[in-house]
Amino acid sequence: MAYKSSNIASVIRRLNVDYFLPAIQRPYVWTPDQIVRLFDSLLKGYPISSFLFWDVSPAQIENLNIYKFVEDFTYGDFHNESAYLTDKQVTLVLDGQQRLTSLLIGLKGSYKSKLKNKRWDNPDAWVRQYLYLDLLQDARSEDDSLTDVTYGLQFFKDDPALGAGSYWFPVSRVLEFGDQKEFDSYVDDLLQKLESQGVDRTDRKIVERNLETLYRAIWKDEVIAYFTETSKSLERVLDVFVRANEGGTKLSKSDLLLSTITTTWGDLNAREEIYQFVDYLNSGLARHNDFDKDWVMKACLVLSDLPNAYKVSNFNKSNLELIRKNWDAIKVALESTVRIVNDFGIDRDTLTSTNALLPVAYYLFKTKVRFNATDAMGADAIVSIHRWLMKALLGSAFSGSSDNTIALARKIIQESLAVSEGFPERDLLVGLRKHSQIDFTDSRSLNDLLAIKYSDKGCFLALSLLYADKRWGASQYHVDHIFPQAKLSKARLLSSGVSEWAVEAFVSSKDCLANLQLLPSVDNMEKSDSDFDGWVMSRTEEFSKQHLIPADKNLFRLACFLDFVKRREELLRQRYASILGFDSDVLTKYLEDELALPEKSRGDRG
């Protein structure tokens, strides 16, 4: 069958009436900037690629999960509303969902996004916006570039106020003019209105040209070129869909998997089940997380003892049946895993590798250890999990392509469980050390830990390891500079009497681990840039012990900052050595060999 074509207005009016989405489609992911570029391309007369449709008979609908296009979109929302259809011939969009949804949002709907510098969980951070076209912007006067947006397209919350040189037209209004005469009448009235407001003839011509360009792009030009597949074979349609997506954004393996298991799990809508579970992991527990369906589907392979490479071929019928059989237990293990790591203070802001959680989930799946276990074996296992996971994350053992690392970790756990129920912390450390950037079986890893800086992604993890017995729950903790950053600027140091030759050493030590601690968010904000000597004297002795603050009060003065850092680094090294299990002889040697600072770096004691 040859390609056909249609204008945008006709297709948009059929979305969620005759045109729908199959479960195989991935969620909508475009940003407002991408929508603006799409409309800019249309106004320039550029092609927007072809579309692939699939005609489905009423008899086929019974065996398919069908969804509506999103009209009013919220950034980060991965859900399409289900379409309940009976006795109706419909067309499903196999290729072109992102573009059609973008056209729908711009012409009929809205886009809700988060304001910059606002927290995700702040309701006031989210605003619903609509697409507008600045009729007074002359696109022809801009540099003729294939990539730059030259038409005045922008999303606004409300009708923009009239300003010098701008006249904003809601793009959705163009759909009201199904009749050419109605459109011409509107243009005439608007031009007369602008003339009465003193808009000169040249600008009125720009307004007229922009409106006619928009009207022609939506109502006249048949830019939607589409091919319609009519086969009743789902296998053929899947093959067509994959090949159609090979040239553009890669088809997510989980999208294809979800479409397949939706037909395999007859007693369960797998798409809804998995999406809801991911939502629950991200928003329904003590802390906010950032997992996706790909991680959940990979976990299904790992926990079911299937080949863990994320290939579509590993999701064959027999494997999918096994995953379905294990699904309830898989959910329990994954939830327990996330609850445990949240209890360690790790969430979306501090988790550096989701794949590092898979060995933990596998162990919990096999042993049925609960996240809140109180029996001796379970409680000991959680302590061991904490120590190992922190080391795995700090050492980036699961960074990059980690399929081999995951497979090796699973094998180590399998062999360990054959002789013991405990979590094999030591075996994993030894077995995976070649994959880790920090070898935590070697006492020299103390140097790697102490070299971590404030800006490093593992900073929170390294500090939280110091509080081994701490259970963080939902409380928010900040990485705090013990001696405030503001006090350690070059200008402030010189004005405080620190000699010029010592300033560089002060500044370079500002962000070192020995000048960092974890504080509750409220305490950190209250501390702000207060002088450390005054602030620390208001803390309890227990607080100082917990945060490894040196007992010598003479070190609390700014002039003694370098000596404070040296002494606290010694205390950190001792605490880390105890946590990591290095014996005292090894520690003593490193204290002797590594810790002595040259006299000239001590700074001005005043």
DSSP 198-252: T--HHHHHHHHHHHHHHHIIIII---EEEEEE----HHHHHHHHHHHHTTSSPPP
Residue 446 lies in a domain: no
**Same-domain pairing of 181 and 267:** no
Q: Which domain holds residue 526?
A: 477-602
Instruction: Give SS3 for 128.
Output: strand
Instruction: List, run by run, the mean pLDDT of 10-residue segments along the chain (606 residues).
Output: 87 95 81 95 92 87 83 84 85 91 96 76 82 92 62 91 84 94 95 91 94 96 90 70 57 60 71 89 92 92 91 76 93 96 90 95 95 89 92 89 91 96 94 90 89 91 82 78 90 88 91 92 79 85 90 90 94 89 55 44 38
Residue 261 located in a structural domain:
yes
pLDDT for position 312:
65
Q: Is residue 558 part of a domain?
A: yes
Contacting residues for 99 by C-beta, under 8 A, at least 6 apart: 38, 48, 49, 51
Question: Helix 201-215 vs helix 180-196: angle between axes, to the nearest 10 degrees?
Answer: 160
Domain-located, residue 468 = no
Total-model pTM: 0.61
In the prediction, which pLDDT does 235 show? 60
- Asked whether residue 118 falls in the same domain as residue 158, the answer is yes
Say whether both 381 and 257 belong to one domain: yes
Q: How many structural domains comprise the chain?
A: 3
Q: Give the separation between CA 108 and CA 110, rounded to whole angstroms.
A: 7
Identify whether residues 284 and 418 lie together within a single domain. Answer: yes
Given 413, 441, 469, the domain boundary residue is 441
Residues 355 and 401 both lie in one domain: yes
Is 397 within a domain? yes
Q: Based on the domain organization, do 358 and 306 belong to the same domain? A: yes
Same domain, 291 and 221: no
Nearest to 38 by CA among 158, 207, 217: 217
Concatenating the DSSP letter of every residue in 537-561 gives TTS-HHHHHHTT--S-GGGGSGGGH
Whether residue 199 sits in one domain with residue 265: no
Same domain? For 290 and 328 the reply is yes
* Residue type for position 65: N
Of 396, 420, 441, which residue constitutes the final position of a domain? 441
What pLDDT was estimated at residue 318? 83
In a domain, 470, yes or no: no
Looking at the fold, whether 435 and 481 belong to one and the same domain comes out as no
* Rounded CA separation 133/154 (Å): 7
Domain boundary among 225, 241, 272: 225
Residue 461 inside a domain? The answer is no
- Is residue 455 a part of any domain in this protein? no
Is residue 516 helix, strand or coil? strand
Together in a domain, 273 and 390 = yes
Res 604: pLDDT: 40
User: Do 495 and 407 share a structural domain?
Assistant: no
